[in-house]
Amino acid sequence: MPGHPPEGAIAPPDGQLSDRSLSRLGAQSLSAYVHIPFCASRCGYCDFNTYTADELGPGANRADYAGTVIREIEFARGVLGATTTPLHSVFFGGGTPTLLPSNDLAHILHSLRDTFALAPDAEITTEANPDSVDKASLAALRDAGFTRISFGWQATAPHVLAVLERTHNVDKALAAVRAAQEVGFEHVSVDLIYGTPGETDDNFRAALTAAIDSGVDHVSAYALIVEDGTRLGAAVKRGTVPQPSDDVAADRYVIADEMLSSAGLEWYEVSNWARPGGECRHNLAYWRNADWWGFGPGAHSHIGGTRWWNVRHPSAYATRIDAGKSPAQAREELTDADQELERVLLGIRLKEGLDGIPDDLSAPLVSEGLLEQHDDNLVLTRQGRLLADLVVRRLT
């Protein structure tokens, strides 16, 4: 949740949703996202809504945080009313969720389970840093009901990790994956970042090889984006670190796609690859425009055509929750046109593709080699994936 939140309409203090949005509840799957806004230290490239462990006050500090989130869960129950839709997926993201004791994560998860119920095959994911877990903490998470863990590797080459200001090393990264597998996680994923200044094609290949060899069933790979307001952004502005090049990023993307697919991990979304059955269901829920409630400061939610986002600062968030008020900072009710636009811009990123696009818009993109027709659906080619935003502009 980077940068500044969008502007939107005022969100009512009781968080009440429109009849329209409430009436749509249950038409799609319902998921939960839980934002954990803590990190041991702040990485130079990161502009997510996260804080180092000790800078926050009552309600928002690490010790109180789980309790505050659980009160938002109760609040959500009230807003969503008597809906019986169980949660299809739960995703703990951050920050570094595993900076909270496993017990706290378990409490939050169990509160969600007790309040909303979990679907029998629900996917329960947490993000983790390789150096914020050990075998015991992972076992505790597994016992609490987590089914999936996603490690923020980002890179394996020491000089690349250094530019990213990551504190782990490749041994820890591999050990964390191994430990997760040993305690019984069915699904383990690693996140990689490519295009970091100083990274070579071979550095990135080595990271991919390490990921593939570790036996994970899911890899996310993102091009480094230099965001304003980060230390890396400042360094690029000063000229002490070169601006990552789009051409390099394109080369690396092709490397990732080739290596991962030949290792049996197929792309299922522009930046995500998985073995069959390893696709992240929570991730798919976003791109399929399903419903989810985002808990925690700065978290975004989408229910039946209403989007809202919580206040960003954990203390402001805690204050609102304590007062029994909605933590939403603002919201927007999507028009039909907005929703169609979102359907295209989200759906086109998936391998399953998109239907309902007029021929006159899609035909030129097919002939230019950016889209392929698969039955009724249009699917991005590899080149199309690299130009997905351009494709969306031309389809909408």
Partner 1 sequence: MGVSASAPGSTDPSLIRNFCIIAHIDHGKSTLADRMLQLTGVVEGRDMRAQYLDRMDIERERGITIKSQAVRLPYTAGDGRTYILNLIDTPGHVDFTYEVSRSLAACEGAVLLVDAAQGIEAQTLANLYLALENDLQIIPVLNKIDLPFAQPEKYAAELAKIIGCSPDDVLRVSGKTGVGVAELLQATVDLIPPPVGDPDAPARALIFDSVYDTYRGVVTYVRVVDGQLNSRDRIQMMSTRTVHELLEVGVISPDPIPSKGLGVGEVGYLITGVKDVRQSRVGDTVTTLARPATQDLGGYRDPKPMVFAGLYPLDGSDYPELRDALDKLKLNDASLVYEPETSVALGFGFRCGFLGLLHMEIVRERLEREFNLDLISTAPNVVYRVRMDDNSEHIVTNPSEFPDGKVAEVFEPIVRSTVLAPTEFVGAIMELCQQRRGTMDGMDYISEDRVELRYTLPLAEIVFDFFDQLKSRTRGYASLDYEPNGEQAADLVKVDILLHGDPVDAFSAIVHRDKSYNYGVAMAAKLKELIPRQQFEVPIQAAIGARIIARENVRAIRKDVLAKCYGGDITRKRKLLEKQKEGKKRMKMVGRVEVPQEAFIAALSTSDTGAEAKKK
**From residue 14 to residue 33, what is the string marking binding to partner 1 with x (rule CB under 8 A)?**
-------------------x
* Binding residue (CB under 8 A) for partner 1 from 37, 97, 294, 314: 294
Task: Please count the other Cβ atoms lying within 10 Å of the Cβ belonging to residue 137.
Answer: 18
Nearer to partner 1, 130 or 297 (CB): 297
DSSP 8-state assignment for residue 98:
G
- Nearest to 276, CA basis, from 296, 261, 295, 292: 261
Which residues contact residue 224 at a Cβ distance below 8 angstroms, ignoring those fewer than 6 apart?
45, 193, 194, 195, 196, 244, 249
Cα dihedral: 375, 378, 379, 380 (round 10): 150
Please, what's the b/e burial string for 248-287 (b: 16 or more CB within 10 A of its CB; e: otherwise)? bbeebbebbbebbeebebbbbbbbbbbbeebbbbbbbbbb
Q: Does 340 bind partner 1 (CB under 8 A)?
A: no
Q: Are 152 and 128 in contact (CB under 8 A)?
A: yes
Q: Which stretch binds partner 1 (CB under 8 A): 103-111, 131-139, 258-266, 388-396?
A: 388-396
CB of 291 to partner 1, least distance (A): 11
Region of 163-171, 201-209, 232-240, 336-344 interacting with partner 1 (CB under 8 A): 336-344
The residues in 228-287 that bind partner 1, with binding defined as CB under 8 A, are 246-247, 249-250, 253, 270-271, 286-287
Report the 10 Å Cβ neighbour count for 174: 19
Closest distance of CB 338 from partner 1, Å: 7
By CB under 8 A, is residue 299 in contact with partner 1?
A: yes
Kindly list the residues in this chain that would bind partner 1 in the complex (CB under 8 A): 1-3, 5-6, 8, 33, 35, 48, 93, 222-223, 225, 246-247, 249-250, 253, 270-271, 286-287, 289, 292, 294, 298-302, 307, 309, 332, 338, 341-342, 345-346, 368, 385-390, 392-393, 396
